[in-house]
């Protein structure tokens, strides 16, 4: 119906795309409002549903406009154009598309494309991780009239459901914290912007949400175990195929959560606390074994190669061509000890930078403002940890979910800080963990306030159960 193959998305978004987005948006809005009205009496949290969908789609449109009119292209456009050439190939010869999708990228497969179909970007096509993303985009382009703007909106809408599922799960674990959890999972500005376009980050963030949701439901909640185990495996596979280091960051905390959720029921406080070190040792040992088994699949993200890559990247960032957008945590050897010496600086980068005074453009300023707020929150919680150490660690260690969030945030921020060369990439790469870091800060802040006012009259672990109203997490 629409001839878009010859259009240059580096210049502008075309009128038919705006028309189609308006139509799709109306349909999505009607569907969302119907779901909200249908469920809100039984599930009050649905009061957030329609507004969250609207904000998500609006963020996707803003993202597209900025990349087309401000950046004049980028990876998001390359992903789209590569996927579009594959869709065009399927429309002219479905057999050729099937061959391309089911075989590893090769010059022979690349030769199946022509001027009529358009050619994939080679750097996208021959990289297994980016090529996997383009394959995921194929059905979305089919239902989006091969429009960049509309495809972005549809992908953004699909990715929303993982965050929504996890939001609903979290408010059952922490009742009374709906506003804090809603902001963390649905309304963090940076996550909305960078997690609503055609990028790896949109897909990985959604996969992380499904990973955590299905893990809890199958392994801890023990609900619909077969269905949730399948979702867990599929989400892990997507993460392994798109960004393996996200899975690396998730695994240790997942094992800690699994084991800790079981020992928290032990009546003996001494045995419960004595088991914690053992849990960490066993969890990291299992994580190391899993990573060793997955070594060939992880490629450059295997433990050994990642250390070397991180060291080379940090040396590279000192070069002049980054033009002031780089940061430097110092050189280090590609060894365990060398990396560990830079972990504190890397965590600071991953959690709180760019600082506001390091921002060089509008997008970076917004990220800088956010980071400033998170830094203040972190300093407040740090002060509470120093002045009320026992209460602070009592809150953390009695909440397996908080241990998971803490582990994931610290490991991911370290990996990002060690292996990212400039602030432009940093703000994007933080997206798969940023919501969970914000969630950790807000929940911990709330629990610390409640423990301060109520813990003195309630003995042991029962105090925390009554405070949260959730029992065992």
- pLDDT of 386 reads 77
Distance of alpha carbon 410 from the chain centroid: 14
Q: Are 14 and 7 in contact (CB under 8 A)?
A: yes
Does 349 or 205 have the greater pLDDT score? 205
Least confident of 120-124, 395-399, 426-430: 395-399
- pLDDT of 458 reads 34
Provide the mean pLDDT of the chain: 81
Does 319 or 400 have the greater pLDDT score? 400
Distance of alpha carbon 376 from the chain centroid: 23
- pLDDT of 461 reads 33
Q: List all residues 6 or more positions away from 7 whose beta carbon is below 8 Å from its beta carbon.
A: 14
Q: Which two tokens stand for residue 441?
A: 């800060």
Question: Furthest-apart CA pair in the chain: how many Å?
Answer: 75
Say how far apart CA 67 and CA 70 lie, in whole Å. 6
- pLDDT of 456 reads 38
- pLDDT of 153 reads 97
- pLDDT of 425 reads 79
Residue 352: closest CA among 251, 469, 430: 430
Regarding pTM above 0.95, the answer is no
Q: Which residue has the tokens 């996208």?
A: 124
- pLDDT of 306 reads 58
β-strand partners of 422? 326
Q: Are 106 and 131 in contact (CB under 8 A)?
A: no
- Tell me, what DSSP letter sits at residue 326? B
Say how far apart CA 112 and CA 451 lie, in whole Å. 65
- pLDDT of 338 reads 64
- pLDDT of 362 reads 76
Say how far apart CA 163 and CA 362 lie, in whole Å. 27
Q: Are 359 and 370 in contact (CB under 8 A)?
A: no
> What percent of the chain clears pLDDT 90, i.e. is strictly above it?
44
Say how far apart CA 54 and CA 186 lie, in whole Å. 11
For the cut 70, the answer to whether the pLDDT of residue 271 exceeds it is no
DSSP for 331-356, written as a single string = ---SSHHHHHTTHHHHHHHHHH-S-G
- pLDDT of 310 reads 55
Does 280 or 91 have the greater pLDDT score? 91
B/e letters for 4-13, b = 16+ CB within 10 Å, e = fewer, are: beebebeeeb
Say how far apart CA 303 and CA 283 lie, in whole Å. 17
For the cut 80, the answer to whether the pLDDT of residue 191 exceeds it is yes
Q: Are 130 and 124 in contact (CB under 8 A)?
A: yes
- Report the alpha-carbon angle 269-473-437, nearest 5: 110
Say how far apart CA 244 and CA 291 lie, in whole Å. 10
Alpha-carbon distances, residue 360 vs 69, 71, 197, 282, 357 (angstroms): 18, 14, 22, 44, 8
Say how far apart CA 472 and CA 442 lie, in whole Å. 19
Does 365 or 96 have the greater pLDDT score? 96
């Amino acid at each position: 119906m629409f001839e878009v193959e010859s259009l240059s998305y580096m210049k502008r978004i075309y009128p038919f795309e705006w028309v189609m987005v308006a139509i799709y948006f109306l349909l999505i809005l009607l569907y969302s409002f119907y779901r909200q009205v249908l469920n809100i009496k039984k599930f009050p949290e649905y009061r957030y549903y329609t507004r969250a969908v609207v904000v998500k789609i609006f963020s996707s449109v803003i993202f597209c406009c900025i990349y087309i009119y401000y950046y004049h292209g980028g990876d998001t456009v390359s992903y789209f154009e590569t996927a579009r050439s594959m869709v065009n190939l399927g429309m002219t010869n479905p057999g050729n598309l099937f061959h391309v999708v089911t075989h590893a990228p090769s010059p022979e497969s690349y030769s199946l494309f022509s001027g009529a179909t358009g050619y994939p970007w080679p750097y996208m096509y021959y990289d297994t991780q980016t090529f996997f993303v383009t394959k995921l985009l194929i059905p979305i382009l089919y239902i989006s009239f091969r429009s960049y703007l509309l495809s972005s909106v549809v992908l953004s809408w699909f990715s929303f459901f993982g965050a929504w599922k996890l939001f609903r799960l979290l408010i059952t674990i922490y009742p009374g914290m709906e506003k804090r959890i809603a902001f963390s999972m649905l309304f963090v500005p940076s996550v909305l912007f960078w997690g609503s376009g055609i990028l790896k980050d949109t897909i990985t963030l959604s996969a992380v949400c499904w990973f955590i949701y299905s893990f809890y439901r199958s392994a801890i909640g023990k609900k619909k175990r077969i269905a949730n185990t399948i979702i867990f495996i599929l989400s892990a596979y997507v993460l392994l195929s798109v960004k393996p280091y996200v899975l690396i960051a998730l695994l240790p905390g997942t094992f800690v959560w699994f084991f800790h959720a079981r020992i928290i029921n032990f009546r003996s406080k001494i045995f419960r606390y004595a088991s914690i070190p053992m849990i960490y040792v066993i969890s990291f040992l299992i994580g190391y074994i899993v990573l060793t088994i997955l070594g060939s699949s992880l490629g450059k993200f295997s433990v050994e190669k990642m250390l070397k890559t991180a060291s080379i990247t940090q040396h590279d960032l000192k070069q002049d061509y980054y033009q002031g957008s780089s940061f430097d945590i110092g050189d280090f050897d590609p060894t365990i000890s060398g990396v560990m010496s830079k972990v504190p600086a890397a965590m600071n980068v991953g959690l709180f930078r760019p600082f506001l005074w390091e921002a060089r453009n509008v997008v970076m300023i917004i990220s800088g403002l956010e980071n400033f707020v998170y830094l203040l929150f972190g300093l407040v919680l740090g002060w509470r940890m120093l002045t009320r150490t026992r209460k602070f660690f009592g809150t953390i260690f009695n909440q397996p979910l908080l241990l998971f969030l803490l582990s994931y945030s610290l490991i991911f921020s370290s990996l990002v800080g060690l292996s990212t060369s400039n602030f432009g990439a940093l703000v994007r790469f933080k997206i798969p963990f940023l919501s969970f870091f914000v969630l950790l800060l807000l929940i911990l802040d709330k629990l610390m306030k409640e423990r301060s006012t109520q813990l003195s009259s309630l003995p042991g672990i029962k105090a925390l159960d009554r405070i949260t109203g959730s029992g065992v997490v």
